[in-house]
Every structure is written in structure tokens, then in C-alpha cells.
Structure 1
Amino acid sequence: MKNIAIAIVLFITMGNLKAQENYTQSLQGVKKVKISSESSVWIKAHNKNEISIVGEDRQLPEKAKGLKAVYAGGSDNTGIGVFIKREGETLIVKNLKNMHSNTLELNLPKDINISIARSNLGDVKIKGFSSEIEASTNIGDITLKDVTGPVVARTATGEINVIFEKVSQKSPISLMSAAGSIDVSLPSNTPTNLELKTTMGEIFTDFELKFPEEKKDMKVVGARRTIETKLNKGGVEISLRSATGNIYLRKQ
């Protein structure tokens, strides 16, 4: 009886092949990585001058042995459903899998510039970079943590949440959501010229701005209008705009 049970388990196991392989490539001479994906994307910084893409842990049919998957969006030249091509100093990364696939996970050097576009459902998460970041989604949240900027982030429907480790004075920072809140944390000593605008929401902050109507430990500093002010005598331009959501500007 025991032998029969073992045989059944082996038979079931042989029906599927487990595939998980990471893809790595040197980024020598590359200054920017441009990413497009239908699914969610999670990008983390590491201390290597290479891109590392985490392979998907999935079950493949036994009949797929010796074959490779093909995709409508292009050719899989990495073996993990991702197309990569270098164009000058830019590396193009295209996720060929559909919006229902697992999150695309990448590791990149912390000082490399990043541009990422999501065309359908899915979130973007980025952590630990001291470089320029451009991120856009159609329907999905954008979360940036421990970044310095410059940052340009856009979403049609979703929240934008950013925690700045410090704020680069190199170029303006712009965050915009058509339908969703914007939540930003800045070091208290950040020099900046602020533009805050929400059409249908409110603006809350714990910075010492001279506006009335305190609410608990945050102040309502405006609604249905644009507020322009300075922190620490002014500096880099920071624009936060939401059509229908609130704006939260936090001190850290």
C-alpha cells in the first residue's frame, strides 16, 4: 500500500515542472532603465552594477519540457517572460506577461535613473534610490520609500505615497493623481518652494505653515485652491496635485 502511495505522488509530481530562475545582466555604461509592465512592479536598490530580475516560481506542464513560452508583446530573450534591449545608455525592460501575472521584481543600483510605465491594473513600488525616478500608472498606487528624487509621478486612479530620505535640489519634483490622495513625508529641514493643489479634497500638514483651522495635530491649510509657500527659505520646486483626493504633507 505504501509503495502505491509513493507511486501516485511521483506520478503527480512528474505532471508538472517547477521553474524559477533569476536573470542578471551588467549595467556597465547604462545610465537609465526604462520599464514597461502590465502587472505590478516592485523595484529595490542593491549595491551591484547589474539588473537582477526575480524569476517567477510557477508550475509548468510536463508537455512544456523542451519548449519555451511565446508572448504577443514580443520575444522573450531572458527566459523569464521579459524582453531586454539596450539603446545607447538606456536599458529597455518590457514585461511580456499579462496583467494577471505575478509582480515583476527587480533589483537595480541605487544611483541609476528609472522610468516605469504601467498601462493597466497594478501598483508600482520603489525603494532605496538616490536617482531620478519617473513613474506612471493607469489604475494603481505608486509607493516610493527612502528616495531623494528628483521624482515625477502620475496616476489616473490611485494613491501616491512618497517618503523622502532627503530631497535633491537638482530638479523639480511633481506628483499628480487624478483620483486619489497624495501622501508625502519630507525631512523637516528640507528647503523647498511648495505648490499644493486639490480641486475636491483638502490639504493637511504638520509643517509650521501660517494657515488657520487646526484639526488635531494636522492643520487644514486649504481646499479647492492652489497654495504656494516656502519651507526653510525656499529651494527646489515641489508640486503636489490631486483632483479628487486629499493631500497630506508630513514632517519627519
Structure 2
Amino acid sequence: MFPWSGVMAMGWARAGWCLCALLLTQAADSDPVGPTRTQVQVYDSEVPTEILTVPGVPTDLQLAPHEKITGLALGDTLQWRVEELPGHLFLKPLRPDLFTAGTLVTNLRVYSLVLRSTTPQGPWVMRVRWILDEEKSLSSPSGKTIHLFSLIPRRVHTHYTIKGDAEFRPLEVFDDGRFTWIDMGHPQVLPAVFMVDAEGSRLVNYLLHPPYFVVQRLMPRFLLKLGATEVEVINPDYGKSSEAQGEVPEQKP
């Protein structure tokens, strides 16, 4: 049990999890989510991390090297199973349609968490990790690293069409010829992003660079989805850029 000043610490549930569950394949061929289920978020103590999970599958919160958990306060300790290993915190809901929030405290940082459980047919993640402001970067397919602070958004294509009136409707969407920038303002929820093309729809990762979601590619069409609610965004200029679509061009020193 963690020491917790002023808040009752929760004991770790030792339910004999089989960690090989982390190697589970997709639940069904109809699952629209792509092979990647990793959520990467820029750490901000003022911005909660919203995590989508599914029953029966532990979601791995990956901590930084030498980061140790010292406390966890979770609203619902009955319907969420929690397991700790060095550098990792595993969360597993018992059923879909659950919601809770909590605070994770380590020797380095304090994380605000918003946890939701969904069904295997919806968007969900198996891994969550954070990057710090000084590490805030994007990686190109060639392995080169591009720091976000050196990327001042350049509005190359701005004629995006936004359809839908959900609370997470973007204020603006544009691209700089390489990345898609989605201005979310100050959202209370964090929807998943699905790219839609001739091959179907698939989940894409994004980085949080407030107030933007930054997707590391260009997309002809994409959906912002949370549960059954969605907002559609269409890029009429897709394919008109002289740069390769969806790829990061080599950066000049």
C-alpha cells in the first residue's frame, strides 16, 4: 500500500493477471482500430490524460526511467483492477461503459487521469506514455527527430470542411504540408482520430501540443470519435501538395 498524505491510499489488487494478455491480437477482424494502440501525450500537470480501455485487457501506463509510483487515488476501486510493476502501472476495467478519475503520484510528477471503458469494437489503447516539454518531438519515417518547438505551424492548406456539432468539434483544422494541426481549444474530452481513405478507416496517433492535436501526416478525411459521437473533417486539398502525402520531408540543418 502506498503512503498517501491526507488521502486514503488504495491497495494494489493482486488478481494474478497474466501479463501475456499484453500480446493479445485484435479482438475481431471488424475492429476499425489499426495495429497501433499506443497513446503518446505531452505531459502537462494541468491537463488530464483520458484513457480508453476495454474489459479483460490491461492498459499499460509506461513511466519514465527511474520514475517510481508513490501514490494512487482512484475514484472507483471496485470495478477497476490495478497492478504495478517497476516503471509500469496496469489498469483493467471489469466491464464496459465505466468512468472514473484519479491522480497518480510518482517521485517525479503528478498525473491526472480520466478513465473510460468501452467495447473491443470501439477505439481503445494498450499503452500510454508521456513525453516532456523538453523532449517534445516528432519522429519521421527515416528515424530523424523533429522538435515541435522548431515547427511553427504554417497554414498551407486551410480549407478543411468540418461536419458535426459534438462538444469536441475543432475550432480550426489546417496543415503545413506535412502535419495536420487540429485546434481543439480547451477540450474537456479527448476523442480518438480515425483516418479514412480508400482502404477503410484506422486509428492514428497524435501528439498534444496545446491547443492542437498534431497528426504526423496529411489525411484526405478523418473522424474525431468518442463513443458513438463523431465529427467528420474533409481535406479538399489533399494530394495537391508537392510534398509526399503523409511523410515528413528531410529537415535541413
Into which bin does the TM-score normalised by the smaller protein fall?
A: under 0.3
Give the TM-score, by structure 1 length.
0.27
Q: Which is higher, the Rg of structure 1 or of structure 2? A: 1
Higher strand share: 1
Give the TM-score, by structure 2 length.
0.27
